[in-house]
Amino acid sequence: MKHSLILTTLICALAAPFAAQAQTQATAAEATAMVKKGVSFIKANGKEKGQAEISNKDGQFVDRDLYLVVYGLDGVVRAHGANAKMIGKNLIDLKDIDGKEFVKERVELAKSKGTFWQDYKFTNPTNKKIEPKSMYCEKLDDAVVCGGIYK
């Protein structure tokens, strides 16, 4: 009995950091749900109000390391939940650390598929480290709404 209690305590102690990390990082399901919520919000409230709310760091579209971005199909950032300085900039030629033109690819995927997941590397706003990221995106009219998870 005593050994069982010690073993259980040890397992819980070793698992605690992983449980804490899981709670601090968004999941694929949460990213998908937030993008769908963002698309619905824009449809219900219009582009201007929707993009303003998505760009509000204290708004409903920012949760831990999960935030939404909206790109025009020309590569111009229309809304950004983690970095308002990006709004209005054309990032079509932006590359990740591996040289992947992820904005160009995102725009092309939006035009050809409409709804998709995309992998690249990007700076995590919570720890400022470049990490692998998967972005869920949905095309909406002449734009693409995306939210991603860090791996």
8 in a structural domain: no
> Does 21 map to a domain?
no
Q: Does any domain span residue 16?
A: no
Find the helix or strand (DSSP H, E) in which 79 lies: strand 77-80
Q: What angle do CA 82, 105, 37 make, to 5 degrees?
A: 45
**3 belongs to a structural domain:** no
Q: Would you say residue 107 lies in a domain?
A: yes
Q: Which two tokens stand for residue 126?
A: 């919570």
Lowest mean pLDDT among 81-85, 86-90, 124-128, 136-140: 124-128
Q: What is the number of helices (H) and of strands (E) in the chain?
A: 4, 6
pLDDT digits (tens, 9 = 90+) for 4-32: 434 333 344 444 444 444 468 899 999 99
CATH number at residue 145: 3.30.450.20
Task: Give the pLDDT confidence score for residue 3 in this predicted structure.
Answer: 44
- Residues 44 and 59: their CA atoms lie apart, in Å, by 17
Residue 140: inside a domain, yes or no?
Answer: yes
Residue 17 lies in a domain: no
Cα separation, 47 vs 24, in Å, equals 30
Residue 138 resides in a domain: yes
Number of domains the chain is built from: 1
Distance, CA of 65 to CA of 49 (rounded, Å): 23
Position 89: which residue type?
A: K
* pTM for this entry: 0.83
Helix (H) or strand (E) holding 7: helix 2-24
CA 36 to chain centre: 12
61-71 pLDDT per residue, tens: 999 999 999 99
Domain region containing 73 = 26-150
